[in-house]
Amino acid sequence: MAPSIHDRPGPGRLIDTHIAGHLPLPTPRQIQELLPAPPACLETVAGGRRAIRDILDGKDERLFLVVGPCSIHDPRAALEYAGRLRELADKVRGRFLLVMRVYFEKPRTSVGWKGLTNDPRLDGSFRIEEGLKAARRLLLAVTRLGLPTATEALDPVAPQYLSELVCWHAIGARTIESQTHRELASGLSTPVGFKNGTDGDVQAAVDAMRSARERHSFLGVDFEGRIAVYHARGNPDTHVVLRGGRRPNYDRASIRRCADLLGAAGLRRAVMVDCSHANSGKDPLRQPSVFHSCLRHASERGSPLVGMMVESNLHGGRQDLPAGRGKLRYGVSVTDACLGWEDTERMILGRAAAARSISLGGRRDK
């Protein structure tokens, strides 16, 4: 038997020179068999995807709202939040489709906690198998409540473990120009929202939508854990998410300009607004003002606005991860600051009431 490349004589080892070690993971199929999705959960996912597609196509006049924590770090608190959001969803279902933001991965500008699937114990121990199982358990619990789910597609392998329980994926501002993520989006079975770049560039999101609509062949991992070549047919169910940049971009002119870029590219004129990030100046208490402005835009005939995103948690604000044995405050974000539950509920209920007098019917051209 020929020696491994690791064992061959020569000037030194040529691969894995910066790798301290590796730990095999269970395959996606093994995780799915350990934590199977019952029919009720799959029905929630299928119904959620169908409803979002109908909104994108103009068949459903409601707006869809992706609402929830900036990131999930405590599944128990997240499930409590899901229960509250489920009750609220029933109250506003005639005007809004509520989708819970269940983000397990966090892209970092430099360094920082990378999310529940990467570091579930929040201590740098990186128990990724434990994180994947925790994420899947939470998705099962949320969809069992009948609540659609939304997350960011960041790691190209993770969707094989989780994606049959996800109704909507985002491609984030830091990965919008990544060919890997555009190819990934072309094969995802969900509608996908592409955020504009961190500098506010919308053209990158439009280009990403054009790319994701086309056929692609790319490397991936199959359900048995083997490296495989995937041939994607392309994903037509995409839209832009305006999240601001050097300045906010949720004003009427910015929304219309984005829609015009989409139309010129032969793409669906569907625009969502992220009420957080640069659009709120990273101040969660300004999210209701952005939300209210968007609702006014959505009521106008021909509006391309299909929904909004809100960063919300059980309690407002944020906290740093404590050193040593310090304790975290329950229901408070460890990443971006969030709007508290009471303010979130008041905002959505109030806007639903306003929407009854500002009809959304006929707001978009068919």
Checking if the pLDDT of 358 tops 50, the result is: no
Q: How far is CA 37 from CA 40, 41, 137, 205, 239, in A?
A: 8, 6, 10, 33, 28
Q: Yes or no: say if 53 and 237 are a contact pair by the CB < 8 Å rule.
A: yes
Query: What are the tens digits of pLDDT across the range 250-275?
Result: 999 999 999 999 999 999 999 999 99
Q: Yes or no: say if 201 and 174 are a contact pair by the CB < 8 Å rule.
A: no
Go through the domains of the chain in sequence order and give each one's CATH number: 28-320+328-357 (3.20.20.70)
Q: Which residue has the higher pLDDT, 325 or 152?
A: 152
Rounded mean pLDDT of 208-227? 96
Checking if the pLDDT of 352 tops 90, the result is: no
**H-state helical runs in the chain:** 28-34, 39-57, 75-92, 128-144, 159-162, 179-187, 203-213, 252-264, 287-298, 341-357
Question: Residue 14 — very low, low, confident or very high, per pLDDT cuts 50/70/90?
Answer: confident
**Tokens at residue 211, please?**
């790319």
* Spacing of C-alpha 272 from chain mean position: 13
Q: Which residue has the higher pLDDT, 323 or 4?
A: 323
Rounded mean pLDDT of 176-181? 96
What share of the chain in percent tops pLDDT 90? 86
Checking if the pLDDT of 198 tops 60, the result is: yes
What is the pLDDT of the chain when averaged over all its residues?
A: 93
Query: What pLDDT score does 357 carry?
Result: 47
Q: Which residues of 159-175 are buried (b: 16+ CB within 10 A; e: fewer)?
A: bbbbbbbbbbbbbbbeb
Query: What pLDDT score does 239 carry?
Result: 98
